Structure 1
Amino acid sequence: MRMHESFIGGGRSAIQPRPLVSRSWQRVLGFGLVADRTGARDPLPPARVEQLRGESPLHLVIDDLARVISSVADASHFLMVVTNGDGIILWRRGDSKVRRRADRLGFSEGARWTEDAVGTNAIGTALEEASPVQLFSGEHFEQAQHPWYCTAFPIHDPRSGELLGIVDISGPALTLHPAISALVETAVLLAESLLRRHHEAALERLRLAAEPVVSAGGGPALVVDDAGWVAHSAGVATRDRIAVPEADRPLAVPGLGLCMPERLDLGWLVRTAAADRRITAHLELGRKPAVEICADAAPWRVALSQRHAQILQQLAGAGREGLTPYELSVALFGDGEHVVAARAEVSRLRRSLGAIVDGSPYRIADGVHLTVTPAAESRAF
């Protein structure tokens, strides 16, 4: 706490904060927060919290998380908190006395615990650093949080690597046990495994429900869920994922060509009359990058972020060898420390363009010819 007072006050201390804590404090000072005041704590209304719970895949495993956390003897001394990817607390479980203490901090359902809202804390700092974080007492920016410890682990969608939220254990500082980090990590690994099993079961239900439709229709086809994950393929080289289907929007799928998805009860049927069409794609760089896709039909355009345009440009340059997640991290961020972020960006790109990008390693898919126009030559649109 003396280290905190010295650092925040601009003085010198014999004890220096850990690099992770120092980076966070610098960010928080840049946000204009003051250590002796609490940040914004305006929680979302209960109806909105309930809506966000229903939208989060974590609602499928929240009870399993709670069982793991509550299985230890000292569970009465801490809280388990689970947020979404925006740092909004959706679930909070634990001892009533600890909950009442947390209420005085605004550490409750519906509150946003990001660094810009409440200063350095394990949830917000884990979101910023994209890694597990444990903070003790005076390492928190706000003095009101100094009586606490907190241990937070990001939890990801095992299908795509996308960040789903943060699992956190917090409690009175002097009750911190050395095994807390291992406990949270174990809970997160279990939850991610269960999420994978839930997804596999959902794909199997979709496959069984769509089997009569696929058999009756004949010809090559894919059955996919609402996120584009393939539940069944017939006459097409199996792919794990295609672009997210939308009603009345053409969908380019290597091996099928340009398709019009058909809505099923639990997903989508994707098929076309021909299976030998070749897809051509043209990437236009510049201030407003876009990719134009054609598969023996009228071309369609997809606007891209600068980051997604950079990914396609890197993959086009890598050729058939492609790029590993580590190599893509180096290409995008200048180092190999952002593998999780690189995977998440590719996942978002594939939701827009689907199977045009293959994985393991990342590369332009077979059957796709991609050309690139540099920024200086791109036409305005």
Structure 2
Amino acid sequence: MGRRTVAGLREAHDRVLAGEDDARVSAQIAASWRRAVAQGIDPERQRPRRFREVDDTVRLRTEHPLAPYIPVVTGLLGDSSISDDHLVVVTDVSGEVLWRIGSADALRVAESIEFVEGANWSEGGIGTNAISQCLVTGTPVDLVGGQHLVHSHHGWLCSAAPITDPGTGDMVAVLDVSAPVGLEPVAAGALVRTAARLIEEMMRGDALRRRAQSQPALRAVAQIAVSLLGSRPNVRVGGVVHDLTPRRADILALLTSREQGWSADELAGALYGDRGVPSSVRAEVHRLREVLGPRLDSSPYRLGGDGVSVDVWSVRRALAAGDLTRALERYAGPLLPGSGSLEVALLRAELHETLRGAVLRSGDPGLLARWVDGGGADDMAALEALVAVLPVGGLASSLYAARLARLDATLR
């Protein structure tokens, strides 16, 4: 990336933080900056928050599932042929730095910005960077120069990729390569993504070997995760993802809403109205049972049993416990936004408005910022509430006030 481009990113950074628009800054990066600033991150003087001291981190990382694969990471990415001054970093899913691999010079330069074991490189710990964005999006991320929120990071290029557990699909770590601006971003990103996928394949192979050596494990029923929030409803059984047809997604949404279950007649009426016949429902449920197995009961139809997780249930439980942070983390979007079922639409509105109301009542700037940068992007009431609780004249207040003004002008 040329010097002119890097300088342009720094200029765009300053303009956006001043409340202006700049096409060189993506909506995703700008939203991340706003969230971080709302949580108290200072672009001028920020140092990462610390989870624990280095010695404690060194002891704890021995229990991390990636520990056996760190020699592989070193062999793949620690080679000086990539560059003389790049740094390889592995964090856990909270953003805590667990491992650093690099030359003595690279480690020393990283220490100048506290890119060290035990430091928190999540969005709330140090602002926008490749690691934090990877944690937020769950996808590989490349960031360079002024795309970072904190000014002291503007001389760096960072490429990060998630590493997921092949058995559950859950993220277990983030793999990052960082270097002073100059290393080609495309090359760095490709190396990180390739290394992450190779480690996942090694983890998958090791898990299969362990299962083959354990007869009880072979008899165990696979874990099932049902995802109905957002635009891609699916069921994950073990490591296999089954996309849901619109009608089967509607059926599962209804099953998650009633503990006592549904009869075929009730489901037919809810899904098809007066035209509904139980035989249509039974055919769809039969297809679902091919995926869900005994976790889908009949007479009445009911979803449950050990080893079943549903994202809708996770949000509801978090709301019931008053844990709004967890509720927002689990809320990937509206319930089946493409469904034309009136019953599903009512469930969708109920969950959305319950979460929205709880966030508004909380008055918490971090929660409000997360809401308006996610599912409540056009929520003027939430924007007004956020601006009201932020320090008057502060950077975060100015950013969200400018956004509120633009939305107000658009809606007039």
TM class by shorter-chain length?
Answer: 0.5 to 0.7
The match for 1:192 is 200
The match for 2:94 is 86
Matched, 1:113 2:121: yes
Matched, 1:35 2:57: no
**SS at 1:169 equivalent:** strand
**SS at 1:81 equivalent:** strand
Instruction: Kindly report which structure 2 residues correspond to 1:9-158, keeping only aligned pairs within 5 A, or say none.
Output: 9-11=18-20, 13=22, 15-42=23-50, 44-71=52-79, 73-158=81-166
* Aligned partner (choices 309, 313, 325) of residue 309 of structure 1: 313
Query: Structure 1 residue 145: deviation in Å?
Result: 0.5
Count of matched residue pairs: 246
Query: Structure 1 residue 44: deviation in Å?
Result: 1.3
**SS at 2:192 equivalent:** helix
Q: Which has the higher strand share?
A: 1
* Aligned partner (choices 195, 204, 209) of residue 212 of structure 2: 204
Q: 1:308 to 1:102 in 2, by over 3 A?
A: same
**SS at 1:44 equivalent:** coil
* Aligned partner (choices 3, 21, 26) of residue 12 of structure 2: 3
Q: 1:142 to 1:330 in 2, by over 3 A?
A: closer
Query: Structure 1 residue 31: deviation in Å?
Result: 1.6
Instruction: Please tell me whether the aligned partners of residues 60 and 195 of structure 1 are also in contact (alpha carbons under 8 angstroms).
Output: no
Query: Structure 1 residue 75: deviation in Å?
Result: 3.8
Q: Which has the higher helix share?
A: 2
1:48-88 superposed Cα distances (whole Å, 9 cap, x missing partner): 31343122211121111221113461242211100111111
Of 31-40 and 128-137, more deviation after overlay is shown by: 31-40
The match for 2:222 is 240
TM-score, normalising length: structure 2: 0.53
Instruction: Please tell me whether the aligned partners of residues 77 and 172 of structure 1 are also in contact (alpha carbons under 8 angstroms).
Output: yes
Distance 1:39 1:135 in 2: 19
Query: Structure 1 residue 37: deviation in Å?
Result: 1.2
Instruction: Please tell me whether the aligned partners of residues 283 and 309 of structure 1 are also in contact (alpha carbons under 8 angstroms).
Output: no
Query: Structure 1 residue 309: deviation in Å?
Result: 2.6
- Which structure has more relative contact order (CA 8 Å, sep 6+)? It is 2
Letter of the structure 1 residue corresponding to residue 313 of structure 2: A
Distance 2:146 2:334 in 1: 37
Query: Structure 1 residue 172: deviation in Å?
Result: 0.2
The match for 1:341 is none
* Aligned partner (choices 232, 255, 259) of residue 283 of structure 1: 259
Alignment root-mean-square deviation, CA: 3.7
Letter of the structure 2 residue corresponding to residue 19 of structure 1: A
Identity of aligned residues (%): 28
Which structure 1 residue ranges, 4+ long, deviate > 4 Å from structure 2? 328-331
**SS at 1:155 equivalent:** strand
Distance 1:99 1:284 in 2: 58
**SS at 1:283 equivalent:** coil
* Structure 1 unmatched runs, 5+: 208-222, 224-230, 244-281, 286-292, 295-299, 313-327, 337-381
Instruction: Please tell me whether the aligned partners of residues 65 and 172 of structure 2 are also in contact (alpha carbons under 8 angstroms).
Output: yes
The match for 2:180 is 172
Letter of the structure 2 residue corresponding to residue 142 of structure 1: V
Query: Structure 1 residue 152: deviation in Å?
Result: 0.6
**SS at 2:149 equivalent:** coil
Distance 2:181 2:49 in 1: 22
Distance 1:103 1:284 in 2: 57
Distance 2:126 2:209 in 1: 39
Distance 1:147 1:335 in 2: 43
Q: 1:162 to 1:5 in 2, by over 3 A?
A: same
Letter of the structure 1 residue corresponding to residue 77 of structure 2: I
Q: 1:124 to 1:310 in 2, by over 3 A?
A: closer
**SS at 1:144 equivalent:** helix
Distance 1:100 1:128 in 2: 28
Instruction: Please tell me whether the aligned partners of residues 311 and 332 of structure 1 are also in contact (alpha carbons under 8 angstroms).
Output: no
Distance 1:125 1:110 in 2: 19
Query: Structure 1 residue 202: deviation in Å?
Result: 1.9
Letter of the structure 2 residue corresponding to residue 56 of structure 1: H
TM-score, normalising length: structure 1: 0.57
Distance 1:97 1:24 in 2: 31
* Structure 2 unmatched runs, 5+: 1-9, 226-257, 262-295, 298-303, 317-330, 340-412
Distance 1:80 1:310 in 2: 34
**SS at 2:120 equivalent:** coil
Of 16-25 and 119-128, more deviation after overlay is shown by: 16-25
1:177-216 superposed Cα distances (whole Å, 9 cap, x missing partner): 5311110011001000011111122223333xxxxxxxxx
